[in-house]
Amino acid sequence: MKPSAILAALAISATPAVHARDTIATDRPDFVESSNVVGRSRLQVETSLLLERDRSGPARERLVATPTLLRYGVGDSFELRVETDGHLDGRHTEPGLREKARGYADTSLGLKWHALDADGSLPSVGVLLHADLDSGSRAFRGQGVRPSLRVVGEWELASDYSLGVMPGVGMEGDEGGRYRYGILGVVVGKSFNERLRGFVEVAMPQIAKGKHGGTQASFDIGGAYLLSDTVQLDAMFSRGLNSRTPDTAFTVGFSFKL
């Protein structure tokens, strides 16, 4: 999700591509989405708490958000999606200045298509089309409707490892007008047992020219634990890889499937 200061914390692509229909497979906490859909007439709720911190010279910024994703299956291969970073509490401090901003993030409407099951060396493939709407509070509202398209490929590897790759493109707006940006995420996951999974990834939610905020990149590490086949707890720590990305981010999440 944009704005660019927020590292969305979505997807656990360590989930095997071939999964029992009644077992939860989430699109969090990592950046790379899962290629799976939730299944016909199933509702899945993925919610979390996110804390970001950034420092640039004497200036410090902190952001607390509540990213939430609702997924509803309209068939065996499609799902409808409503996503938001929820309630936002931002603070900016530097010598002699303290600013606060509270409100709600924009909402995104989307569709996911599970296009291909894994078969031999072929990956499980998902296609995601989203549109961020300028629906949030003034302090956090984007400019107009901002579409994005992402394609996810997931491979199951030996020794319970997995690989996920997610390229994409999107459109955003700033003071210089509308611009296109690239998206890329690569994640390596490991299933330790039937309940516990972990991952490491490199996430680039925006690949753009410097005049539009430049490229954002982070290194993420985290995992997820299944309390039951339909309830999951997860966590992720993120470290920014350049000055355009928040220094650190930490998220904890709770997801369930009905």
Please give the chain's pLDDT, 258 residues, in tens.
Answer: 444 443 333 333 333 333 445 889 999 999 999 999 999 999 999 999 999 999 988 899 999 999 999 999 998 999 999 999 999 999 999 888 889 999 999 999 999 999 999 998 899 999 999 999 999 999 899 989 999 999 999 999 999 999 999 999 999 988 778 999 999 999 999 999 999 999 999 999 999 998 888 999 999 999 999 999 999 999 999 999 999 999 999 999 999 999
CA-to-CA separations, 197 to 60, 68, 226, 232, in angstroms, rounded: 34, 21, 9, 11
Residue 140: phi and psi, rounded to 5, are -125, 5
Please give the pLDDT value at position 44. 97
Please give the pLDDT value at position 51. 97
Find the radius of gyration of the CA atoms of the chain.
18
Q: Is 77 left (phi over 0), alpha (psi -120 to 50) or beta?
A: alpha
Q: ∠ at Cα 161 (156, 167), nearest 5°?
A: 60
Please give the pLDDT value at position 21. 54
Please give the pLDDT value at position 12. 37
Sign for the pseudo-dihedral over CA of 59, 209, 154, 86: positive
